[in-house]
Amino acid sequence: MKSENDIILKINNLTASINEIPILKKMNLTIKKGEIHAIMGPNGSGKSTFSKVIAGHPAYNVTGGEILFKGDNIISLGIEERALKGIFLAFQYPVEIPGVSNADFLRLAFNTNRKFQGLEEMDPLAFFEFINQKLSIVGLDPSFLSRNVNEGFSGGEKKRNEVLQMAILNASLCILDETDSGLDVDALRLISNSINNIINKDTALIVITHYQRLLDYIRPDFVHIMIDGKIVLTGNAELAKQIELYGYDWDKLKITTPF
């Protein structure tokens, strides 16, 4: 049985806004090591805002509550500090970085993380050996490393590049913001299997999605329904299947009435 010491993330009455418009409204959530949490909800419910607030996106203003990561309140920390502490966010629309090779980008991120942990940085040859082992996890060819970051990548390649970053950074909390968006069935299966191969008993995973199909591959321990900036209902994987069938019509859902 997991104890309080296993808590990776604890959200207490979190409120946040953008351009003075309230988005998150006293949101609460507790996530422990080894757990997979799916967050679902209609457009505009605050799902992506939640992911960006946890990661420390500067456009969002936290107006109340706490974000406890491994017991420490991280609200005052910037996005870089949170990433170094072990929070990873895979974006719905990964950005292109012209003129920067994927190999250089990944090695810089990896060595910055090692330096923060007090470890020796890895030289280019050693890193090339290391990264080639990780490429097989996400089904990418080594030639992929010489290409500029996300430039000219297909939707599936961009998402696999995000998962590759997740694999080399070994984060404690991984947040996937609609990673299934724009993927065909084969790409979805490949990326989901890659994620399943990366996460472990010390990793917590948050999956933000509109669709139950992703959860056929990445099986959540908990499914949370988010409406108007807060979690209104929590269940198991069965809840996602009912949402797929009935939408967010509480009268049709064969579950406990939301609070």
**59 to each of 16, 144, 150, 246, 251, how far by Cα in Å?**
10, 32, 23, 34, 37
Q: What is the predicted pLDDT for the residue at 66?
A: 96
Mean of the per-residue pLDDT values of the chain = 89
Q: What is the predicted pLDDT for the residue at 181?
A: 78
Q: What is the predicted pLDDT for the residue at 84?
A: 94
Beta bridge partners of 41: none
Question: 152 is written with which tokens?
Answer: 């000219």
Average pLDDT, integer, range 210-230: 91
The answer on pLDDT for 45 being more than 50 is yes
Q: What is the predicted pLDDT for the residue at 259?
A: 39
Percent of the chain with pLDDT strictly greater than 90: 55
DSSP designation for 172: S
Q: What is the predicted pLDDT for the residue at 255?
A: 54
How many CA within 13 A on the CB side of residue 176?
Answer: 32
Average pLDDT, integer, range 55-80: 95
Indicate the residue type of 83. A
> Between these two residues, 13 and 137, which has the higher pLDDT value?
13
The answer on pLDDT for 59 being more than 70 is yes
Question: 109 is written with which tokens?
Answer: 């991120």
- Bridge-based pairing of strands 230-235 and 222-227 is antiparallel
Q: What is the predicted pLDDT for the residue at 258?
A: 44
> Between these two residues, 29 and 256, which has the higher pLDDT value?
29
Indicate the residue type of 240. A
Other beta carbons less than 10 A from residue 127's beta carbon: 19
Q: What is the predicted pLDDT for the residue at 91?
A: 80
As a whole number of angstroms, the distance between CA 204 and CA 201 comes to 8
pLDDT confidence of 257, banded at 50, 70, 90? very low
Question: 11-49 b/e with 16+ CB inside 10 Å = b?
Answer: beebbbbeeeeebbbebebebbbbbbbbbbbeeebbbbb
Question: 106 is written with which tokens?
Answer: 């990944």
| Closest-CA residue to 116 (of 142, 94, 154, 87) | 87
Q: What is the predicted pLDDT for the residue at 252?
A: 61
Question: 28 is written with which tokens?
Answer: 């609460």
- Give the lowest-confidence range in 154-163, 220-229, 245-254: 245-254
**Class for domain 4-246, per CATH?**
alpha beta
The answer on pLDDT for 111 being more than 50 is yes
Average pLDDT, integer, range 115-141: 89
Task: Please give the angle made by the CA atoms of 77, 170 and 182, to the nearest 5 degrees.
Answer: 90
The answer on pLDDT for 115 being more than 90 is yes
Query: In sequence order, which residues have a C-beta less than 8 Å from that of residue 187 and are 6 or more positions away?
Result: 155, 156, 159
The answer on pLDDT for 145 being more than 50 is yes
Q: What is the predicted pLDDT for the residue at 247?
A: 83
The answer on pLDDT for 254 being more than 70 is no
**Tens-digit pLDDT profile for residues 99-109:** 989 999 999 99
Q: What is the predicted pLDDT for the residue at 53?
A: 96
